[in-house]
Structure 1
């Protein structure tokens, strides 16, 4: 009696599902309670089968340098997508033998398994029995590892929950799939999606990871091992549990023999099977897992800073984390490996990576009127997560650091003074030895400013930019107006720096609750010291300021990306800020001429320039903070712009001294920008400019002379 009822149940279930109809509540009352008869559920099933037929799986995103060479990979699932022809018959035979030997005979559903699940549900409310076909497993894996991308564990539990509802949804999708795809397409789809452990998904990635081979060259033992661990990669991990993996692999080999994979002659087939089973697992000693993320970038310690900035930039430009980790994008960047390696070598030459408490960072930007391409972001520190080795996993050459650039800020005072007609580059300004400012009072009394060296009482603005007297620029700032100086700094490129929280690296919140910004704070507090550069600074933005000046006043965002291409070869649009004419070309070109003497004669960077053999026209400006805890150098030719900052990056920043570079608490002989930051720039840029013609700086406009 029971057998007859079961047989009738199976037939009815098969007919209903074949017709594409979810079981109605009038036939199985419990189904209505599961909501399986609703249009919404049917629509979800249709959508799932349609998506499966498209075969759009999570893929690896590749980040390339400017030459098209890969430098980093991003992924949630390491997968190498394959076509049917790219997968060895041994692999196909192994998975069919152990998972679904009747795959080419059924229509996608194991009716007996569904019936057992339904009968079991009637007894204890669950559905723990019932084998799944390979098509159903394809559906299950898709629901877990594609639809459940945000939480794979939760999605896997849901996709494998022991309920009749889940079984029936899975069955209907499988039936529809068999109408939309060929058997070979389904088999290939399954072999591309199945988890195989150690971050690998699909046989393409697993073949590379475990055997350093391709899926079309898998031997019988190799294919059998992959089939053995399919869907059970944790418990059968061949590295952690080799004995269990070997036992299961040999079961697969026996199943392959039973399925006729080794020929019709039983004696010969058994002999081959035993030979295959006698072979070791054969996995490579070091699993060939694709490096992941910025720490795993091609030259991670070198390229990681650029990679980290790139990801921040892309997210701000509208690319989501899901696109980055699962979209299979190709990201063509602006990173120049030659420039990056030259800058890294120079940064370490001046400040060894092992130097306690001192970091040396450099950013390189290529000027232009259509784009400012970031060519290098490096530090004396290596990029990485090992703090005990001095590594840093933040884009320090690009982020706003809580250290000042010192007198580099005098550039903004000079530019504002030129713009407002206060002076010209060849006109003399006053340079008293000591100046008591009544415009910027200190606790109600005049602010006393003095120079770090002896200067003539008067000099041209060009001479002042080269030799950097403090008093002269405080007076110029008074005449040009502090607000105008701060606004000029923003226009030329100090944008994140000035819109971030005052004197720190923390971004300003949208509601301003942690504000005011550094720019607003400077204005509100009438902080005359701005021209002396004590506040937080982005080295990348300093480099971009130099790029703006030698681009005839055109500001562009410092962009690390040329284009983003999706898996289909189409460009992905980015929301990048447009270039803009920050200051008029005559002003920018005149400012460039005014800054052209720092590398020659008595300029503060002249010794560093001659020491490196530098012989090209360049703009430049050194900077040193009052306590000698940070120094900087900004400079550019028409071909490349860059900035360097050397700063005390320990938990308790101290005075930095030179010759040799070291921390020297309490010393009055601190380092200057021309002693370490400038040599870093020149030694790197000499290599970066190799093979380029010597380019002159543009002439100054008569009205700014």
Structure 2
């Protein structure tokens, strides 16, 4: 039995010797004998990739001034060049992992044969991989097969074929890079546990320092971790980490890189890592904090919508410069929070602000009373409240501007012309109103509508109707102009995703859905079809709405009718500082400039006495020319205010984000609560208008009070 074991060991050693000879011959003989030409090409490509392809890096998101607000990453890594790494970590690593690093040419054949003989003869198991080979293996695991569990397993399997391929790549790599470059490459690739990769990130996360400032004690800990990061994690396993650090110190003494006296002294010292876990930034927009997180999230969503993949964004090492004005965003957040407490159950108060323009519509602020973050108990959320179609109960009478604009464009009425505003009205436009609303056609009930309050005169100018907001006037206008024109106007002015979404949820229509309401987009659901002239409730803003898109409607009107996508991106540069193009939708002349300017004049009275937002405007001493429109939904469950000056456009919305059915009670700033049933008293002129005026009055403080554009006579009077 012993003789057979001995023969098997001898056979194994002979086989290993043959493999090693083939490996040694590889630089001369290329792929002859052991691997095919295709495999040789793979080795060549792999070594070229190690020499030229950078690893995943952190993407930095900044405000418009270039100040970082967040980091996005899959692997936390701070790239460092050879000259930026202290000698202490270099010699600690060499001493414990590869003492002959500067002597071999990628593979330590002497060490390999010694380890093979020792392991085959039953002695202690010994490793033989050089740092160059470890660089290859770690590159495969952490870069090439990142996220590919099977590939990572293949890169670590204990087979002669895998070790030979690794050795061949290492040999080629040493013909392309210097020793210092290989050592730095390894130190930039290797993981130090907890998604911390590379010595630059490890120095920051473990010791709050830089790679060039690492001490011998710090270097010994990090060098020891590279062998098995989870096992030597200093927070989870401090005793094992200390033992490993001390072992590295002994190896440094053997390698004459530190004195025995200094090593023994260091062994008595604590590990010295930062308390309570590694010091590393959050890996996503949570890092932007409770104030700027919503803006960061919109910037990320925007880039993904434009075609960038999440993997690209989180590994590309980009610098994403946003259009966020930090002062404006802070003031928007403060105003939203002043009106509604951040921890108030089931009440969200949002504000979106955009700079008008004919070339771009840059978003400058996205805020909510709730903080951005993962802790729901602390009032936090990671749902994009200001930018998403998050208000499912609607923006109320702010939608009346679409009806007015469609009627003015079609020549049905001018802004100074008289419109009818009876106390109640039965419209021929179907709404599905329950009895006792009468039939207006066979099998079709009309739409019964009344004004929210009494006291309206039976007639008034369209401008006054926009200021005081009687419901009946705009349902009558819907009949006169047709629902198709009204729906089209809402989309043209800015409600693009809102109108393309589903009426019930704001999501895309479900293929194969049986319910018309579920399978239809909002444009299809409210617009005319073969069975109905449309649904007149649209003008009362009863459908899901994006606050950001509502703000962009105001921006379109203040830009002479030019619609541009609301963009949060100022520029994107890659890891080398080269510009990265972002393909955005082009701006378009959505409506004639004269119509947009005339509508601005038509909407210019809401802040004046008699207007629905007059009290909120007076509360901040507002004196600037502006456009404005309030809106409130059924049961006072949500409300909105859309407003703009020539410099800044925006929309504020308050709504129930969790349980939408019910009302909201406004007891004054900081005292807004959700209530059951129809006992709410919320209106667009209350919380939303106060939020808008509270922020915008401060943001524009010191800026000139610019006039509104003049009305176009063609749209002042019909025909």
Fold similarity call, TM over 0.5: yes
User: Which whole-Å CA distance do the structure 1 matches of 2:300 and 2:509 have between them?
Assistant: 20
Task: Pick from 666, 681, 697 the counterpart of residue 692 of structure 2.
Answer: 681
How far off is 1:215 after superposition? 1.0
In structure 1, what is the equivalent of residue 509 of structure 2? 508
User: Which whole-Å CA distance do the structure 2 matches of 1:296 and 1:419 have between them?
Assistant: 45
In structure 2, what is the equivalent of residue 50 of structure 1? 48
How far off is 1:669 after superposition? 5.3
User: Which whole-Å CA distance do the structure 2 matches of 1:423 and 1:278 have between them?
Assistant: 88
How far off is 1:154 after superposition? 4.0
Q: Which 10-residue stretch deviates more, 401-410 or 105-114?
A: 105-114
User: Which whole-Å CA distance do the structure 2 matches of 1:324 and 1:292 have between them?
Assistant: 15
User: Which whole-Å CA distance do the structure 1 matches of 2:326 and 2:141 have between them?
Assistant: 39
Instruction: State how 1:598-637 maps to structure 2 within 5 Å.
Output: 598-637=606-645
SS at match of 1:96: helix
In structure 1, what is the equivalent of residue 436 of structure 2? none
TM-score normalised by length of structure 1: 0.93
Task: Pick from 584, 588, 592 the counterpart of residue 584 of structure 1.
Answer: 592
Instruction: State how 1:635-650 maps to structure 2 within 5 Å.
Output: 635-650=643-658
User: Which whole-Å CA distance do the structure 2 matches of 1:183 and 1:693 have between them?
Assistant: 62
Q: Is the 8 A contact 1:113 1:129 kept in 2?
A: no
How far off is 1:211 after superposition? 0.8
After superposition, give the CA deviation of every residue in 1:537-577 in whole Å (9 maximum; x if it has no partner). 11000000000000000000010101110011111122211
User: Which whole-Å CA distance do the structure 2 matches of 1:7 and 1:72 have between them?
Assistant: 52
Name the CA shift for 1:175/1:272 in 2 (closer, same or farther; >3 Å): same
Is 2:322 aligned against 1:333?
yes
How far off is 1:681 after superposition? 0.3
Name the CA shift for 1:295/1:570 in 2 (closer, same or farther; >3 Å): closer
Q: Is the 8 A contact 1:10 1:115 kept in 2?
A: no
SS at match of 2:635: coil
Task: Pick from 408, 421, 427 the counterpart of residue 437 of structure 1.
Answer: 427
Is 2:496 aligned against 1:499?
no
SS at match of 1:440: coil
SS at match of 2:147: coil
Q: Which 10-residue stretch deviates more, 489-498 or 514-523?
A: 514-523
Is 2:261 aligned against 1:271?
yes
Count of aligned pairs:
683
SS at match of 2:352: strand
In structure 2, what is the equivalent of residue 461 of structure 1? 462
Q: Is the 8 A contact 2:628 2:641 kept in 1?
A: yes
Instruction: State how 1:314-463 maps to structure 2 within 5 Å.
Output: 314-401=303-390, 402-440=392-430, 442=432, 444-453=444-453, 454-463=455-464
How far off is 1:652 after superposition? 5.5
Name the CA shift for 1:310/1:414 in 2 (closer, same or farther; >3 Å): same
Name the CA shift for 1:123/1:588 in 2 (closer, same or farther; >3 Å): farther
In structure 2, what is the equivalent of residue 34 of structure 1? none
- The unaligned stretches of length 5 or more in structure 2 are 1-6, 434-443
SS at match of 2:631: strand
In structure 2, what is the equivalent of residue 663 of structure 1? 674
In structure 1, what is the equivalent of residue 3 of structure 2? none
Is 2:86 aligned against 1:88?
yes
How far off is 1:103 after superposition? 0.4
After superposition, give the CA deviation of every residue in 1:234-256 in whole Å (9 maximum; x if it has no partner). 01101110110110111111111
Instruction: State how 1:280-299 maps to structure 2 within 5 Å.
Output: 280-298=270-288
Name the CA shift for 1:122/1:270 in 2 (closer, same or farther; >3 Å): closer
Q: Which 10-residue stretch deviates more, 430-439 or 340-349?
A: 430-439
In structure 1, what is the equivalent of residue 441 of structure 2? none
Name the CA shift for 1:129/1:293 in 2 (closer, same or farther; >3 Å): closer
User: Which whole-Å CA distance do the structure 2 matches of 1:203 and 1:168 have between them?
Assistant: 28
Structure 1 segments (4+ residues) deviating >4 Å: 1-8, 112-124, 509-514
After superposition, give the CA deviation of every residue in 1:494-531 in whole Å (9 maximum; x if it has no partner). 01001011132223358889621111111145111101
Q: Is the 8 A contact 1:114 1:167 kept in 2?
A: no
How far off is 1:113 after superposition? 5.9
After superposition, give the CA deviation of every residue in 1:223-242 in whole Å (9 maximum; x if it has no partner). 00000001411011011101
User: Which whole-Å CA distance do the structure 2 matches of 1:394 and 1:421 have between them?
Assistant: 42
In structure 2, what is the equivalent of residue 134 of structure 1? 131
In structure 2, what is the equivalent of residue 220 of structure 1? 216
User: Which whole-Å CA distance do the structure 2 matches of 1:520 and 1:121 have between them?
Assistant: 74
SS at match of 1:197: coil
Task: Pick from 239, 250, 257 the counterpart of residue 254 of structure 1.
Answer: 250
User: Which whole-Å CA distance do the structure 2 matches of 1:490 and 1:356 have between them?
Assistant: 33
User: Which whole-Å CA distance do the structure 1 matches of 2:457 and 2:537 have between them?
Assistant: 22
SS at match of 2:446: strand
User: Which whole-Å CA distance do the structure 1 matches of 2:615 and 2:420 have between them?
Assistant: 26
In structure 2, what is the equivalent of residue 24 of structure 1? 33
In structure 2, what is the equivalent of residue 63 of structure 1? 61
**Root-mean-square deviation (Å):** 2.3
Q: Which 10-residue stretch deviates more, 16-25 or 392-401?
A: 16-25
Q: Which 10-residue stretch deviates more, 682-691 or 132-141?
A: 682-691
SS at match of 2:349: strand
User: Which whole-Å CA distance do the structure 1 matches of 2:712 and 2:542 have between them?
Assistant: 32
SS at match of 1:627: helix
Q: Is the 8 A contact 1:493 1:548 kept in 2?
A: yes
Name the CA shift for 1:478/1:556 in 2 (closer, same or farther; >3 Å): same
SS at match of 1:19: helix
In structure 2, what is the equivalent of residue 144 of structure 1? 141
In structure 1, what is the equivalent of residue 439 of structure 2? none
After superposition, give the CA deviation of every residue in 1:111-143 in whole Å (9 maximum; x if it has no partner). 35655898999999xxx9751000000000100
Is 2:571 aligned against 1:563?
yes
Name the CA shift for 1:241/1:319 in 2 (closer, same or farther; >3 Å): same
Q: Is the 8 A contact 1:143 1:159 kept in 2?
A: yes
User: Which whole-Å CA distance do the structure 1 matches of 2:103 and 2:119 have between them?
Assistant: 28
Q: Which 10-residue stretch deviates more, 230-239 or 1-10?
A: 1-10
How far off is 1:287 after superposition? 4.3
User: Which whole-Å CA distance do the structure 2 matches of 1:217 and 1:580 have between them?
Assistant: 54
Q: Is the 8 A contact 2:662 2:678 kept in 1?
A: no
User: Which whole-Å CA distance do the structure 2 matches of 1:388 and 1:309 have between them?
Assistant: 23
User: Which whole-Å CA distance do the structure 1 matches of 2:18 and 2:397 have between them?
Assistant: 86
- The unaligned stretches of length 5 or more in structure 1 are 26-36, 263-268
How far off is 1:435 after superposition? 1.2
In structure 1, what is the equivalent of residue 101 of structure 2? 103
In structure 2, what is the equivalent of residue 554 of structure 1? 562
How far off is 1:7 after superposition? 9.1
SS at match of 1:173: helix
User: Which whole-Å CA distance do the structure 1 matches of 2:197 and 2:497 have between them?
Assistant: 40
How far off is 1:23 after superposition? 6.4
Q: Is the 8 A contact 1:118 1:164 kept in 2?
A: no
SS at match of 2:107: coil
Name the CA shift for 1:115/1:272 in 2 (closer, same or farther; >3 Å): closer
Name the CA shift for 1:130/1:230 in 2 (closer, same or farther; >3 Å): closer
